[in-house]
Amino acid sequence: MGVASLAPAVELSRPMTPSSNSAAIAPAALAFDAIAPQFDQRFGAWASVAAQRRAVRSALLSEFPPGGRILELGGGTGEDAAFLAAMGFQVLLTDPSPAMVSLARNKLSAHKSSAEILAAEEMEEFAGRKLASGEALFDGAYSNFAPLNCVVDLNPVARGLARLLKPGAPAMLVVFGVFCPGEMVTELLRGRPRNILRRLRRGQSAARLAGRDFCVVYHRHADLLRAFAPQFAPWFTLEKRLGIGVAVPPSAAEPWITRHPRLLAAMESIDRVVSRPLASFGDHVLYQFRRTHIAAPPFQL
């Protein structure tokens, strides 16, 4: 699922939106509601998406404790949650799109996992409800394929995760890379030069899916540190970054790259070597935070 090629090509990520009320559903959730029935079929066959997903899953499995209780932000139709649930994890998927959550529940029903309609901006309130009900803390959290790029204010996300995660628990957050040579080359070859530098734009950028408009934010590394450090520190420490799709191209290269499996396999092998030193050049970047033992922040209205 990546918002990576949002306009005019493909958007695979699950943007988070400010309302879980279907009567007042936000533009991004409306767009993904509209495409939900075809989402997996449309994007699931793309080999570049599968390659990037494998890289993220490998990182998740290396950090999450076996059988742990895991929280997902912006889980969409539940592809990653179902994978982890089948591996023995207990996953709670959250997403602002009611249609996506419905599909995810069907995938998770056979496992001890569940899905709830929830926007990332509501994470702090969500934490308050969960803790008030006596629920246990989570062993880890993740957000795959850039849903946080549709969140302008990351502070409630940081505060909510700090209250929900056990000390020592990882928070694995995947966002867009802002300088992706793979996308630049792809857009140039496709004759779309105006898209070559689109990720360098500041503020909100227009995106379109299923005939519906919404906005994404291409967070720079420095922007993320400024947004997250005051909120995650001292509750979280940043351990490392991994480039997801450094050599593996973004979804804008589809369906061409899927027709060249040997080339893609070679690119995937390269990524396993360069993902950390060249993280800044990834189509996506995985930020690995670790919850400290500092007490969680008080709830803020």
What's the pLDDT band for 11 if we cut at 50, 70, 90? very low
Compute the mean pLDDT over every residue in the chain, rounded to the nearest whole number: 88
Could you report the per-residue pLDDT of 117-128, keeping only the tens digit for each? 999 989 999 999
Q: What percent of the chain has pLDDT over 90?
A: 65
What's the pLDDT band for 229 if we cut at 50, 70, 90? low
CB–CB of 49/80 below 8 Å? Answer: no
- 10 Å CB burial of residue 301 (0-12, 13-18, 19+) is exposed
CB–CB of 291/163 below 8 Å? Answer: no
Could you report the per-residue pLDDT of 235-265, keeping only the tens digit for each? 888 999 999 999 999 999 999 999 999 999 9
Between 35-39, 112-116, 277-281, the lowest mean confidence (pLDDT) is in 35-39
CATH 3.40.50.720 fits 3-291, yes or no: no
* Residue 213 bridge partners (DSSP): 208
- For the whole model, what pTM was predicted? 0.90
